[in-house]
Copies of this chain bind each other. A is one copy, B any other.
């Protein structure tokens, strides 16, 4: 065992290099530029132990990094996981893989970055697979005799003993390792996001509603379906096309099918006139029938997938070929982004597909490395492409890893368990990831409603009807509920945009799992108090620690606690303070568990006392650049409050050159109990808003005056 040599990499972040790792890593591939000023403003933070407590051991097959672990310490993060939020006691094999139905650590976006509630984080930056034993290993010389119990007779027997260490198995070659300071979990996660260059700031239209059409639709069908949204008064910002837009797919040409899309430029333009962006599905594997093929063939790996080549996008030449073609055929006619499918690989579905770990690429990297970073390369390559056009994009991606906080991409999956989908949304927030619990179909109208409700309060509100041909109005009996929630999302656009601005500038995740919001010790004590009241849990005296991985914060002020089909009531863990039912107006005291029975038409959302929620009227689509709309600042409750409202053009990167504003709005209460709001600037000239209207002391969200 040896100590490691740590260097201060940025304020609150230490770095060391173990072994002689490959220079190609997630963070280097992403060109992560830490936001050093913002990191400095956070201060030096603190670690719960000295750097010397972190030890490294060399074995025949790897390096083992060992960190101390306390008895009740909870371990969060490690990427997009579906079955646990606290990974304590689990082993995480962090390999990129599709459709993770078992809790092994393999997933679309495994991230070798964890944060514990003792208040620190560890990040391994490597293009190879890492295994993290989250207290799932117990060294013999640390096995405490008193922990060893007799399962025959002792109800206190536990399947996993309280190990005293986290053990991280690095690749044979070693890796770059970062220690990240707390003290709070959210401080660690902020620092991680800032290390990655800050979070992403989507274009405003990205936060509207997305609809993906059936894969074999032609242009007329696409335009007709889009038009239906307008006619039926269902907001929609983005129309997504699926594999059928390609002249051939699986593998892909990347070229428009002339048969189905004889004039794609016209279609895109027509849609744009009607307020729709176009998003194109693709996957990595290039068809021999593609014009890209001959250029990319010498720049590809030595294994094909579905008969297509797997280009080596670590090579600038390969990226240029891809980007040039995408610019000419897609961006130049107005396409707004991509759905980057199948960059993960799978042995878990009916057929195995992907280049193998032993595949060789012209860069000299192998299949294991390329698979771990393939999703990253596509994100960066397309984001760069749009940046060069000074346009922001927002899209979807099926694989990710560390270093992607600044990437404008949201993860999705072919899985469909709704509880797991909500958990994944929570988990993503620890790892600089975004996740959409996309809706595709439903087992009932109730299931339809519950899924649509939560997707409308998620990072990307989308109906993916590629295979099912569903529409938001597919269940007529609940159509008004669906319309209501999509419109709610549209009203909340400024609030959501603000949350993303905090992400961009301060590294604060826009969507937050509960441990990012509350001390876990408070969570535990509140839960234990609550559990005593619910005698169905905790039978036989066992404390079952509830993870609260079924509710999350959106921004600073809204807490979302979805129901799934079959549930008619649920417990909600409310943090300290006073809360109001966002749509009911009911008042709740926080720092406790409350039980709600909302009815199908309502998803439980709670707003903090004193919150100022910036809203606009629900519209068919997000405001266009240059279009000004009235801003309605809604103050809730009885407490004073304030908000830093962010504004920019919502579409370009001009904000990075200073063309943006932060305006502080404050609500105060006079001695006479009169509430009033004021801006920090004397004259407020927000480029997106024509006027500012105030509501004070709201208990529930007022009706939309456009309804």
List the interface of chain A (C-beta within 8 A of B).
57, 59-62, 64, 89-91, 93, 101-105, 131, 133, 136-141, 143, 145, 147-152, 157, 159-161, 167, 169, 172, 215-216, 243-244, 246, 248-251, 257, 287-289, 300-309, 347-348, 350-353, 355-360, 366, 368
By beta carbon, the residue of chain B nearest A150 is B248
When distances are taken between beta carbons in the complex, the residues of chain B under 8 Å from A287 are 148
B138 to A352, Cβ gap below 8 A?
A: no
Q: How far is the CA of A64 from the CA of B357 in the complex (A)?
A: 11
Instruction: Please tell me which one of the listed residues B101, B138, B243, B352 contacts residue A152 in the complex, with CB atoms under 8 A apart.
Output: B243
Q: How far is the CA of A102 from the CA of B103 in the complex (A)?
A: 11
Residue from A89, A102, A149, A160 having most chain B Cβ neighbours under 10 A: A102
When distances are taken between beta carbons in the complex, the residues of chain B under 8 Å from A305 are 138
Instruction: Please tell me which one of the listed residues B105, B160, B216, B288 contacts residue A353 in the complex, with CB atoms under 8 A apart.
Output: B160
Separation in Å of the A88 CB from the closest CB of chain B? 10
Instruction: Please tell me which one of the listed residues B141, B148, B157, B307 contacts residue A161 in the complex, with CB atoms under 8 A apart.
Output: B307
Q: How far is the CA of A347 from the CA of B301 in the complex (A)?
A: 32
Q: How far is the CA of A278 from the CA of B257 in the complex (A)?
A: 71
Instruction: Please tell me which one of the listed residues B102, B157, B348 contacts residue A250 in the complex, with CB atoms under 8 A apart.
Output: B157
When distances are taken between beta carbons in the complex, the residues of chain B under 8 Å from A147 are 307
A243 to B151, Cβ gap below 8 A?
A: yes
When distances are taken between beta carbons in the complex, the residues of chain B under 8 Å from A89 are 351-352
B257 to A358, Cβ gap below 8 A?
A: no
A302 to B141, Cβ gap below 8 A?
A: yes
When distances are taken between beta carbons in the complex, the residues of chain B under 8 Å from A149 are 250, 307
Q: How far is the CA of A167 from the CA of B159 in the complex (A)?
A: 38
Q: How far is the CA of A250 from the CA of B161 in the complex (A)?
A: 11
Instruction: Please tell me which one of the listed residues B160, B351, B357 contacts residue A61 in the complex, with CB atoms under 8 A apart.
Output: B357
When distances are taken between beta carbons in the complex, the residues of chain B under 8 Å from A59 are 358, 360, 366
Given A61-B357, A139-B302, A307-B147, A159–B350 Cβ distance below 8 Å? yes
B152 to A216, Cβ gap below 8 A?
A: yes
When distances are taken between beta carbons in the complex, the residues of chain B under 8 Å from A347 are 90-91, 93, 103-105, 136
Separation in Å of the A103 CB from the closest CB of chain B? 7
When distances are taken between beta carbons in the complex, the residues of chain B under 8 Å from A138 are 303-305, 307
Q: How far is the CA of A304 from the CA of B145 in the complex (A)?
A: 11
Instruction: Please tell me which one of the listed residues B90, B148, B167, B353 contacts residue A251 in the complex, with CB atoms under 8 A apart.
Output: B148
When distances are taken between beta carbons in the complex, the residues of chain B under 8 Å from A102 are 101-102, 348
Separation in Å of the A124 CB from the closest CB of chain B? 15
When distances are taken between beta carbons in the complex, the residues of chain B under 8 Å from A101 are 101-102
When distances are taken between beta carbons in the complex, the residues of chain B under 8 Å from A243 are 151-152
B352 to A160, Cβ gap below 8 A?
A: yes
Instruction: Please tell me which one of the listed residues B152, B353, B355, B358 contacts residue A215 in the complex, with CB atoms under 8 A apart.
Output: B152
Q: How far is the CA of A101 from the CA of B101 in the complex (A)?
A: 8
Given A248-B152, A287-B148, A358-B64, A307–B143 Cβ distance below 8 Å? yes
By beta carbon, the residue of chain B nearest A83 is B350
Q: How far is the CA of A410 from the CA of B147 in the complex (A)?
A: 33
Given A159-B353, A347-B91, A61–B366 Cβ distance below 8 Å? yes
Q: How far is the CA of A221 from the CA of B145 in the complex (A)?
A: 32
B368 to A61, Cβ gap below 8 A?
A: yes
Q: How far is the CA of A547 from the CA of B393 in the complex (A)?
A: 47
When distances are taken between beta carbons in the complex, the residues of chain B under 8 Å from A159 are 306, 350-351, 353
12 contacts between A and B (CB under 8 A): A59-B358, A90-B351, A91-B352, A104-B347, A131-B357, A136-B352, A136-B356, A137-B356, A138-B303, A150-B248, A157-B250, A159-B351
B348 to A160, Cβ gap below 8 A?
A: no
A136 to B358, Cβ gap below 8 A?
A: no
When distances are taken between beta carbons in the complex, the residues of chain B under 8 Å from A257 are 152
B90 to A352, Cβ gap below 8 A?
A: yes
Given A138-B303, A150-B248, A161-B307, A167–B356 Cβ distance below 8 Å? yes
